[in-house]
């Protein structure tokens, strides 16, 4: 089955640090990847849609300069939280959808998430 690997699984760092999270599709190519954020006991909130070779599309209220997304290949997207502060602490999850013209038939496959804690 389709596997999405997300790394690291957990990060603890000081305020002001920039943190990079990687999302890889291991056994399929993904034109589109998605980044979500989840607060405790809440559902997933879509942050941005990442398209290979083009700029990411951010949801309303998400700061693009704060959350930098790069999707340089069909198997890798990265999310960089720049100058992270305690309020950025959260669970970040990526997903990937296989490249297919009939993309509406394709499920999204999710990584295991990254728990980010900013001290």
Partner 1 sequence: KQEVTQIPAALSVPEGENLVLNCSFTDSAIYNLQWFRQDPGKGLTSLLLIQSSQREQTSGRLNASLDKSSGRSTLYIAASQPGDSATYLCAPATGKLIFGQGTTLQVKP
Considering only residues 7, 13, 46, 99, which one is a binding residue for partner 1 as defined by CB under 8 A?
46
The CA distance from 37 to 92, in Å, is 5
Could you say whether residue 89 binds partner 1 (CB under 8 A)? no
Residue pair 117/89 in contact by the 8 Å Cβ criterion? yes
Could you say whether residue 42 binds partner 1 (CB under 8 A)? yes
Please report how close the Cβ of residue 98 comes to partner 1 at its closest, in angstroms: 12
Please report how close the Cβ of residue 86 comes to partner 1 at its closest, in angstroms: 19
Number of residues in contact with partner 1 under rule CB under 8 A: 22
Q: Which residues contribute to the site for partner 1 (CB under 8 A)? A: 6, 34, 42-46, 49, 91, 93, 95, 103-105, 107-113, 115
């Amino acid at each position: 089955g389709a596997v999405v690997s997300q790394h690291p699984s957990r990060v603890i760092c000081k305020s002001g640090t920039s943190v990079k999270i990687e999302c890889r599709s291991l056994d399929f190519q993904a034109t589109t990847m998605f980044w979500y954020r989840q607060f405790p006991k809440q559902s997933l909130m879509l942050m941005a849609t990442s398209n290979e070779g083009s700029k990411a599309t951010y949801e309303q209220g998400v700061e693009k300069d704060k959350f930098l997304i790069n999707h340089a290949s069909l198997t890798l997207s990265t999310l960089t939280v720049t100058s992270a502060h305690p309020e950025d602490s959260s669970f970040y999850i990526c997903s990937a959808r296989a490249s297919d013209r009939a993309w509406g038939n394709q499920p999204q496959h999710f990584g295991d998430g990254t728990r980010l804690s900013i001290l």
